[in-house]
């Protein structure tokens, strides 16, 4: 398990988010080709293990995770981004496979559009830290 799994877990188990996007359309990594909108993709941007003296069987990991929201209209995109941020920011979720999970919001990215396919896109980054057993 990792930060991507933690964010996907938070999103797929949040009623306001799932009311906008069914959990089946919240993907860790690439979305399936031709997915119905709205949809959400969760990707790892970067990560670092904290080097501590004699860490034993655990490591403290911090990752930057990006959530990309896809919608057919700009208002729908903004509503989805707001729900995503509320679902994940400043949380302490219990996620199978990792311990001591803490999630904070980071940067919100620019808005994008794919005019040919009528898709609006926007990103929200999160900082996810957790303890991982190695």
* CA dist 114 → 34, 70, 120 (Å): 14, 10, 6
Task: Compute the chain's Rg from CA coordinates.
Answer: 15
- Contact between 11 and 42 under an 8 Å Cβ cutoff? The reply is yes
- pLDDT, one tens digit per residue, over 62-111 is 999 999 999 999 999 999 999 999 999 999 999 988 999 999 999 999 99
For residue 118, what pLDDT is reported?
A: 92
Q: What is the pTM of this model?
A: 0.93
Instruction: Name the residue range of residue 32's domain.
Output: 3-133
Q: What CATH number corresponds to the domain at position 64?
A: 3.30.2000.10
**Strand ranges inside 1-118, DSSP E:** 26-28, 39-50, 58-71, 99-114
For 8-49, the pLDDT digits (tens) are: 999 999 999 999 999 999 999 999 988 999 999 999 999 998
Which residues, including other chains, have CB under 8 Å from residue 107's CB and lie 6 or more apart? 124, 125
- Asked if 125 contacts 63 with a C-beta cutoff of 8 angstroms, the reply is no
Q: How many domains are there within the chain?
A: 1
């Amino acid at each position: 398990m990792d930060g991507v799994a933690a964010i996907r877990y938070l999103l797929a188990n949040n009623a306001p988010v799932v009311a906008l996007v069914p959990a089946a359309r919240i993907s860790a990594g690439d979305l399936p080709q031709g997915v119905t909108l709205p949809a959400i993709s969760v990707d790892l941007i970067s990560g670092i293990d904290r080097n501590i003296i004699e860490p034993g069987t655990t490591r403290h990991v911090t990752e930057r995770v990006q959530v990309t929201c896809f919608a057919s209209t700009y208002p729908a995109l903004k509503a989805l981004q707001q729900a995503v941020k509320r679902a994940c920011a400043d949380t302490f979720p219990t996620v199978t496979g990792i311990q001591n999970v803490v999630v904070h919001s980071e940067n919100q990215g620019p808005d994008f559009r794919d005019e040919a396919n009528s898709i609006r896109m926007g990103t929200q980054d999160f900082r996810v830290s957790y303890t991982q057993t190695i």
